[in-house]
Each structure stands twice: as structure tokens, then as C-alpha cells.
């Protein structure tokens, strides 16, 4: 795989300096230079690049316009850009971030900082390209294995992606408003007797139980809370969306389900301890982080009915390999925000995310804590060093990890009574 870096800068002395720095300090096969944005755009269309380092102010096409063109094109959408600018004002920086710039540095730039930022972006780009090549190689294999067929079916749309139930869609749309009224939520949920009865049961469970038994939906939602009701509607919908017939695959499904619930509870507890806004939304992020595994599992189990060479271990291995990509794909179809898509794709490798945030850091840590406590879909083992490394992103100490672990385990114990 050839690693190319494109440098665009209209000032000759700076262009030469950038070229020298890239050749000397960045691991690449070729450094291509140009002196204006239009030339850079033409080069990007002609051949693949792993990283673009571009000035903001250039003739013919500015660096910002180049960025917009890159993000609007399928071939260059994911190529990382490091933008050089004399514009340190807040509005310009925000505009560049909203347009999809991966990082920026102001002029006059510090060489060491530039190299540090470029190395990080280049590493992510090379890793992502290698993963794409790996998946493409599987698809191109002459003899189609079970794994090949699963990937082909999902990517080609041969197996239609699951569609959220109408009730769930209406609830999600309701919560897109600035304020949600209890009466409005009751009107939507009560159209489904099954979910209504389940929510009443949940409100009387050990987790929410009060002094008196609740028999009505309005009081049940009031006790559970509006946001947690939204979460539980999604929980119940998700449980009904994915079905498998064979016992060995049903066992895997149940383990994934338990892991998702544990991660959701742990992510919510972490967000509460860290005093993050809308902590209950972290429950949903945790609940959906492994949604790609369910999609792969359902497709694999369907194919396995006709394939004698399909094995349980093959299914587990394939889920681990591609669940991030397919989880993000499904959440895109369901129109969940970009945070959910990023969490699904990168929760096991946050360094590959272009712009990791608290949502990703929280779910990544919650995922590890859940696995460490026995809630996992395979034989994964998590060490204290794994936990500590993930905790550093949030500056979370051992006492907080112990507290959220206890809260997670109490929540999981209560699930058996729901």
C-alpha cells in the first residue's frame, strides 16, 4: 500500500519547509506538492492520498473550499486534512471543524506540534485503508466462504436492513423536540399494548419500585422518567428486531444482549458520576454500541441453515472483525446522530476516530468494564491496564470505576426480575 501525502501551500518557502518536514519526519512513500487549491483538488481526483496538509489562503481555491470539495466527494470524503491557517479566531476554527477538518494549526506553526498532529492523522488513515483492503479482499475471494457471503449480503442490500418499529420511530421523533410532555409520550406509547404492559411491569420492578403498585401508563412513565422511557422503548424494540432459530446462535444473541444492557447501564452511571449533561442518553449509546454484531449474527445464522461449513466460531470471529462498520451503517439508516455512529464504529479503537468525544470515551470504558465483569459475547479477557488506559481519557479513578461497576451489577441483577 503506497502512502502519499499532498501538501498545498502558495508561499514557496513554507511549501519547501513543509515538504522537507514531511519527508524527514513522516513515514510515507511520496510527498506531492502544489501551490493552489485547484491544483490540489485535481491531484486528489487523479490518485489516492493518505493525508492532505493545506494552507487556508490560496489562489483559485482556498483550503476551506478544498476541504468542502473533499468532504462532498466519495473518493476523498475520508482523507484526513490538516489545515494551516493564520486565522485563529473562533468563528473560522468552528467553520472548519463543522466542515469536517480533522485538525488545524495556526501560523507561524511549531514544527514539533505539526509533526505530532500529522503522525496521528496519518496513522489513522493508513489503518483505515488497511481495514478496507482487508474487507475488499474477503469479498473478492474466488471461493466464497460463509464470511464472504455474510459481508456480500449486508453490503449489497440482498438482506434488507432491519427497520425500527413505527412506535419507536414516533418516540424518537417526539424527543427531537425541545421539550417533551408526559401526556404526549403517553399518547404515543399507549398505541402498543405490549410495550405499555411491559413499561408498567418495569415501573414496579426492584429498580423503580415505590411505595405503591402502579397500574397506569402515565404513572409508570412518571416513575421511570421520560428519557428512560424512551430508552426502554428502544430496548424492547431492539430485542424484537433480531431473531435466530438455532440454539447455538441464540446463545450468542443472548450474550450480546446481556453485554449491551450492561454497557448501557455502566455508560449511564459513568455519565452521572462525571456530571455530564443528559446522562440518560449515554444509556442509549451503550445499548446500541454493538448493534452491528446483531446484524452480522442474524445474517450468519440465516446462511448457516444452508451451509454445512458454517461454525459458531466463524460467526464470532466475523462479528469481531466487521461489527463496527455494519453497526455504523445500520445506525445511519435509522437516522441516529453522528455520535451514535462513531460509537458503534470505534468503541474498540478510539484512536481511529477522527474526532473522539466524551460519548465515545464513556462507551469505550463501559464496554471494557462490562466485559471484565463477565458480560461478553465471547471469551474476551480484559486486564486492569486496559481499563486504566481507557479511563485516562476521562480522568476517571479507581474509586469511580468501582462505584459504576457496582451500579452496573445491581442493574443487571434487577433485569432478571423484569
Per-residue pLDDT tens digits for 202-249:
888 877 777 788 888 999 999 989 988 988 888 887 777 787 878 888
Q: Are residues 158 and 45 part of one domain?
A: no
Q: What band does 400 get if pLDDT is binned at 50, 70 and 90?
A: very high
In a domain, 215, yes or no: no
Q: Are 122 and 5 in contact (CB under 8 A)?
A: yes
Q: Are residues 80 and 54 part of one domain?
A: yes
Q: Among residues 351, 364, 294, which one has the least CA distance to residue 326?
A: 294
Beta strands in 42-135 (DSSP E): 51-55, 81-85, 103-106
In a domain, 364, yes or no: yes
Give the pLDDT of residue 407. 93
Q: Among residues 162, 404, 190, which one has the least CA distance to residue 302?
A: 162
Of 140 and 337, the one with more pLDDT = 337
Give the pLDDT of residue 361. 96
Share of the chain above pLDDT 70, in %: 92
Give the pLDDT of residue 162. 76
In a domain, 268, yes or no: yes
Q: Are 294 and 253 in contact (CB under 8 A)?
A: yes
pLDDT tens digit string along 114-150?
888 888 888 877 776 666 655 555 554 445 688 888 8
| Range among 162-166, 245-249, 313-317 rated most confident | 313-317
Q: Are residues 112 and 34 part of one domain?
A: yes
Q: Among residues 295, 212, 181, 300, which one has the least CA distance to residue 248?
A: 300
pLDDT tens digit string along 267-284?
999 999 999 988 888 998
Q: Are residues 269 and 394 part of one domain?
A: yes
Q: Are residues 409 and 260 part of one domain?
A: yes
pLDDT tens digit string along 24-66?
888 788 899 999 989 999 998 888 888 899 888 888 888 888 8
Q: What band does 90 get if pLDDT is binned at 50, 70 and 90?
A: low
Cell of 152: 456480500
Q: What band does 414 get if pLDDT is binned at 50, 70 and 90?
A: confident
Q: Are residues 280 and 382 part of one domain?
A: yes
Q: Are residues 81 and 150 part of one domain?
A: no
Give the pLDDT of residue 120. 84
Q: Are residues 398 and 340 part of one domain?
A: yes
Instruction: From 140, 171, 196, give the residue that closes a domain.
Output: 140
Q: Are residues 254 and 120 part of one domain?
A: no
Entry pTM? 0.60
Give the pLDDT of residue 102. 85
In a domain, 234, yes or no: no
Give the pLDDT of residue 61. 87
Cell of 395: 480522568
Q: Among residues 173, 6, 165, which one has the least CA distance to residue 79?
A: 6
Of 382 and 90, the one with more pLDDT = 382
Tell the residue number behind the cell numbers 421511570, with chain if given.
224
Q: Are residues 151 and 127 part of one domain?
A: no
Q: What band does 88 get if pLDDT is binned at 50, 70 and 90?
A: low
Instruction: From 86, 109, 140, give the residue that closes a domain.
Output: 140
In a domain, 171, yes or no: no
CATH classification of the domain holding 108: 3.40.50.2300
Q: Are 287 and 231 in contact (CB under 8 A)?
A: yes
Number of structural domains found in the chain: 2
Give the pLDDT of residue 237. 79
Whether 360 shows a pLDDT value over 90: the answer reads yes
In a domain, 379, yes or no: yes
Q: Are residues 151 and 119 part of one domain?
A: no
Give the pLDDT of residue 275. 94
pLDDT tens digit string along 371-395?
999 888 666 678 888 899 999 999 9
In a domain, 24, yes or no: yes
Give the pLDDT of residue 140. 46
Mean pLDDT of 297-318: 89
Q: Are residues 391 and 281 part of one domain?
A: yes
Whether 75 shows a pLDDT value over 70: the answer reads yes
- Which residue segment(s) compose the domain that 122 sits in? 4-140
In a domain, 196, yes or no: no
Give the pLDDT of residue 326. 92
Whether 417 shows a pLDDT value over 60: the answer reads no
Give the pLDDT of residue 358. 94
Between the alpha carbon of residue 336 and those of residues 57, 259, 340, 385, 408, the distances in Å are 35, 21, 6, 32, 25
CATH classification of the domain holding 258: 1.10.3210.10
Question: How high is the mean pLDDT of the chain?
Answer: 85
Of 131 and 349, the one with more pLDDT = 349
Amino acid at each position: 500500500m503506497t502512502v502519499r501525502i499532498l501538501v498545498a501551500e502558495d508561499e514557496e518557502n513554507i511549501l519547501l519547509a513543509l515538504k522537507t518536514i514531511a519527508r524527514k519526519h513522516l513515514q510515507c512513500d511520496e510527498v506531492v506538492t502544489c501551490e493552489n487549491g485547484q491544483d490540489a483538488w485535481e491531484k486528489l481526483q487523479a490518485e489516492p492520498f493518505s493525508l492532505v496538509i493545506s494552507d487556508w489562503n490560496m489562489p483559485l481555491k482556498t483550503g476551506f473550499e478544498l476541504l468542502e470539495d473533499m468532504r462532498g466527494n466519495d473518493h476523498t470524503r475520508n482523507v484526513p486534512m490538516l489545515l494551516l491557517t493564520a486565522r485563529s479566531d473562533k468563528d473560522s476554527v468552528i467553520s472548519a471543524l463543522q466542515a469536517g477538518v480533522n485538525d488545524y494549526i495556526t501560523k507561524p506553526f511549531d514544527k514539533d506540534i505539526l509533526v505530532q498532529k500529522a503522525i496521528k492523522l496519518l496513522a489513522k488513515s493508513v489503518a483505515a485503508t488497511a481495514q478496507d483492503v482487508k474487507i475488499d479482499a474477503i469479498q473478492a475471494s474466488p471461493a466464497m466462504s460463509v464470511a464472504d457471503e455474510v459481508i456480500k449480503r449486508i453490503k449489497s442490500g440482498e438482506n434488507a436492513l432491519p427497520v425500527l418499529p413505527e412506535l419507536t420511530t414516533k418516540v424518537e421523533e417526539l424527543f427531537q423536540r425541545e421539550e417533551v410532555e408526559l401526556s404526549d409520550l403517553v399518547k404515543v406509547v399507549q398505541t402498543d399494548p405490549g410495550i405499555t404492559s411491559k413499561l408498567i411491569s418495569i415501573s414496579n420492578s426492584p429498580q423503580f419500585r415505590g411505595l405503591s403498585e402502579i397500574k397506569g401508563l402515565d404513572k409508570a412513565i412518571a416513575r421511570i422518567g421520560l428519557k428512560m422511557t424512551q430508552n426502554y422503548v428502544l430496548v424492547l424494540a431492539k430485542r424484537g428486531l433480531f431473531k435466530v432459530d438455532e440454539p447455538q446462535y441464540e446463545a450468542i444473541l443472548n450474550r450480546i444482549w446481556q453485554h449491551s444492557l450492561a454497557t448501557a447501564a455502566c455508560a449511564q452511571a459513568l455519565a452521572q458520576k462525571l456530571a455530564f449533561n443528559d446522562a440518560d442518553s449515554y444509556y442509549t449509546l451503550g445499548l446500541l454500541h454493538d448493534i452491528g454484531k446483531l446484524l452480522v449474527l442474524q445474517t450468519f445464522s440465516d446462511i448457516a441453515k444452508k451451509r454445512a461449513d458454517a461454525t459458531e466460531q466463524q460467526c464470532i470471529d466475523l462479528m469481531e472483525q466487521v461489527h463496527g462498520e455494519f453497526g455504523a451503517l445500520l445506525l445511519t439508516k435509522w437516522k441516529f446522530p453522528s455520535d451514535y455512529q462513531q460509537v458503534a464504529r470505534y468503541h474498540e479503537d478510539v484512536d481511529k476516530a477522527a474526532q473522539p468525544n466524551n460519548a465515545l470515551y464513556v462507551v469505550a470504558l463501559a464496554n471494557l468494564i462490562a466485559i471484565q465483569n463477565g458480560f461478553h459475547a465471547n471469551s474476551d479477557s480484559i486486564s486492569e491496564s486496559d481499563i486504566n488506559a481507557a479511563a485516562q481519557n476521562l480522568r476517571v479513578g479507581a474509586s469511580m470505576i468501582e462505584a459504576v461497576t457496582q451500579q452496573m451489577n445491581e442493574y443487571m441483577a434487577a433485569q432478571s426480575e423484569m
